[in-house]
């Protein structure tokens, strides 16, 4: 269980209540007591490894403290997985959703556990990151996103998941509004950046499923062949909309060697900044080739991706700033927001990259 830690003191819950609830809803659980460990990475939802005997599952719940309206909806995420898993098996199967907050203080759900490796800030020591392997992993990341964007979302019963018409203008307006609600101070350049975004919204291609947080460390890879994906995680923000919005979000996490050091320190996928992985241009070119989509307006989507990421980090920082979470990892998030805003502003005044 080296990828997990002991549960943080203020993020623990009543094991007995949860075990009893699980036994009523999951068949053939073995004898034994419920063991709980915590996955330490991630700065949003809280994720736990739950284990009884040789059976393992994953429990997800919202973060502590008040959360933005409609965010961290465990019931919605569980329903998405229920319908998506049969047509896109890389989405883990959910076992049940619990809306009774008396059990752990929030709604939660339990899903199957997919074992493998996650590449986060560094490549695991069990892997030799040869140029061939790193390029193979890069190809896998792109091709899995293309595969997701081919899913027949209407046939899967996901037609009520979002509103494709007007998706992109609504996203721009919505993320600007989220920033205004979460800001803890003034950052120079935000007004000019949000004005640029509002004035340059392109026309969207045909809608697809949008994962909305697709990045390397949300993939579980096969330890024996890391170019094979075993699972795609974190479906809480999934919707139906513009696939290039999804691509732009992914590119905002993907670093490369010539990026400013401050930007690489902000992003969890800074491992990609080594010369062995794809550049963002190679990422885009392969996506365009495999999907057949026109990326003429990708400059907008990249800038919007950085702004959106800045808003997400600001929302987390605001919770820490107000004392709603004690996790000291978030103390530096204010500076990260400024770094992203500055970088997006710089891109918005250039001719693309």
- For tokens 């905002």, what's the residue? 252
pLDDT of amino acid 353: 43
User: Worst-scoring range by mean pLDDT, 56-60, 113-117, 182-186?
Assistant: 182-186
CA 219 vs. chain centroid, Å, equals 10
Distances (CA, A) of 273 to 145, 257, 297, 322: 20, 5, 24, 34
Region 307-328: mean pLDDT is: 85
pLDDT of amino acid 352: 47
pLDDT of amino acid 224: 94
Q: How far apart are CA 53 and CA 125, in angstroms?
A: 28
Q: Please give the domain boundaries of the chain with CATH numbers for all domains.
A: 9-112 (3.30.200.20), 131-348 (3.90.1200.10)
- For tokens 């902000």, what's the residue? 266
Read off the pLDDT band of 66 (50, 70, 90).
low
Query: Measured on CA atoms in the order 231, 233, 236, 237, is the torsion positive or negative?
Result: negative
Written as six digits, the tokens of 205 are 């291609």
- What digits encode the pLDDT tens for the residues 221-263? 999 999 999 999 999 899 999 999 999 999 999 998 888 888 8
Q: Are strands 55-61 and 108-112 parallel, antiparallel or unpaired?
A: antiparallel
- What digits encode the pLDDT tens for the residues 130-153? 999 999 999 999 999 999 999 999
Question: Is 5 a residue whose pLDDT tops 80?
Answer: yes
Least Cα distance to 228 among 137, 118, 125, 146 occurs for 137
pLDDT of amino acid 318: 86
Least Cα distance to 349 among 172, 193, 244 occurs for 193
Read off the pLDDT band of 1 (50, 70, 90).
very low
Question: Is 69 a residue whose pLDDT tops 70?
Answer: no
The contacts of residue 49 (CB under 8 Å, 6+ apart) are: 1, 4, 36, 37, 38, 39, 56, 57, 58, 113
- What digits encode the pLDDT tens for the residues 185-218? 888 999 999 999 999 999 999 999 999 999 999 9
Question: Is 90 a residue whose pLDDT tops 80?
Answer: yes
pLDDT of amino acid 203: 97
């Amino acid at each position: 269980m080296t990828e997990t830690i002991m549960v943080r003191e203020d993020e623990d819950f009543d094991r007995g209540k949860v075990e009893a609830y699980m036994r009523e809803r999951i068949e053939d659980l073995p004898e034994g007591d419920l063991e709980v460990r915590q996955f330490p990475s991630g700065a949003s939802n809280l994720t736990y490894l739950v284990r009884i005997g040789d059976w393992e599952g994953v429990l997800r719940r919202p973060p502590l403290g008040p959360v933005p309206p409609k965010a961290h909806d465990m019931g919605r995420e569980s329903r998405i997985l229920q319908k998506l898993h049969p047509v896109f098996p890389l989405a883990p199967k959910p076992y049940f959703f619990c809306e009774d907050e008396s059990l752990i203080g929030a709604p939660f759900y339990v899903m199957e556990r997919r074992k493998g490796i996650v590449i986060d800030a560094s490549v695991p020591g069990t892997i030799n990151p040869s140029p061939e392997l790193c390029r193979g992993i890069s190809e896998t990341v792109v091709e899995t996103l293309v595969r997701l964007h081919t899913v027949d979302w209407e046939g899967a019963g996901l037609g009520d998941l979002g509103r494709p018409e007007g998706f992109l203008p609504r996203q721009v307006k919505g993320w600007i509004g989220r920033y205004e609600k979460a800001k803890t101070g003034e950052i120079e350049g935000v007004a000019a950046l949000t004005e640029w975004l509002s004035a340059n919204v392109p026309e969207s291609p045909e809608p697809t499923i949008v994962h909305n947080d697709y990045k390397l460390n949300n993939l579980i890879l096969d330890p024996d062949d890391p170019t094979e994906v075993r699972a795609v995680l974190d479906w809480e923000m999934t919707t139906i909309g513009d696939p290039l919005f999804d691509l732009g979000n992914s590119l905002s996490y993907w670093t490369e060697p010539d990026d400013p050091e401050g930007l690489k320190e902000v992003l969890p996928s800074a491992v990609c900044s080594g010369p062995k992985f794809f550049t963002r241009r190679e990422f885009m070119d392969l996506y365009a080739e495999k999907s057949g989509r026109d990326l003429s307006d990708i400059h907008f989507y990249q800038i919007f991706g950085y702004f959106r990421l800045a808003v997400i980090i600001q929302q987390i920082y605001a919770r820490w700033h107000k004392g709603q979470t004690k996790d000291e990892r978030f103390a530096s998030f204010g500076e990260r927001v400024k770094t992203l805003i500055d970088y997006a502003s710089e891109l918005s005044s250039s001719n693309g990259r």
